[in-house]
Amino acid sequence: MGIVITASHNPPEYNGYKVYGPDGGQLPPDMADVVIDRVDQVENELLVEVSTEEELKNLNLLHIVGEEIDQAYLKEIEQLPINRELIEQMADHLKIVYTPLHGTGSKLVPESLRKVGFNQVTVVAEQKEADANFTTVKSPNPEEHAAFALAIEYGNGLNADLLLA
């Protein structure tokens, strides 16, 4: 199993962590129920025994994802079967506005777009930094139109062709 600490795309009160199964996918209900039962057994979370980061690393129970994963991801992006000629033709004309919505994509998404040839990429500055309180949006869910208010404002100001979240 794996745990990812996340701010989610839901309102701040839903911040927490996501648990993934051995296959890397979302836990099936029966496995999720086991985790929930264990959490429910904790009477006082301040009394839970904890290990140090060093102990967990020595036991191979903790791996902090770092720059090596970013670089591997960017290398894979470069291998995508895309029409590079078309991108090259449009690179100076296609204006893209990207909003990370206070999430974690502010580094890799713009870098990925530039790596494949897009050079007119603007990031919504007010939503670039990770922010568990999502101070510029009520809910950073990209399925909700309201989450794009600042990106739309940027897009209109730049006469953008594409908005991404």
Residue 126's pLDDT is what?
95
pLDDT per residue of the chain (165 residues) written in tens, 0 to 9: 777 776 666 666 666 778 888 888 888 889 889 988 998 999 998 999 999 999 999 999 888 888 999 999 999 998 888 898 999 999 889 999 999 998 878 889 999 999 999 999 999 999 999 887 888 988 888 888 899 999 999 999 999 999 998
Residue 110's pLDDT is what?
94
Q: Is 5 exposed, middle or buried (0-12, 13-18, 19+ CB in 10 A)?
A: exposed
Among candidate residues 51, 144, 54, the one with its CA nearest the CA of residue 99: 144
Going by the DSSP 8-state scheme, the letter that residue 26 receives in this structure is B
Residue 52's pLDDT is what?
94
Residue 8's pLDDT is what?
63
**CA–CA dist 137, 154 (Å, integer):** 15
Q: Where in the chain is the domain with CATH 3.40.120.10?
A: 81-164
The answer to whether residue 106 is catalytic is: no
pTM for the whole thing? Answer: 0.70
Buried residues in 96-133 as b, exposed as e (16+ CB within 10 A): bbbbbbbbebbebbbebbeeebbebbbbbeebbeebee
Long-range contacts of 23-28, Cβ-Cβ distance < 8 Å, separation of 24 or more? 27/1
Q: Scanning the structure block, which residue is given the tokens 């720059």?
A: 67
CATH homologous superfamily, domain 81-164? Alpha-D-Glucose-1,6-Bisphosphate, subunit A, domain 3 (3.40.120.10)
DSSP letter string, 75-110: HHHHTS---HHHHHHHTTT--EEE--TTSSTTTHHH
The residue type found at 81 is: P
Beta strands 16-20; 2-6: pairing state: antiparallel
Residue 135's pLDDT is what?
87
Which residue of the set 8, 51, 112, 139 is catalytic? 8
**CA–CA dist 14, 8 (Å, integer):** 7
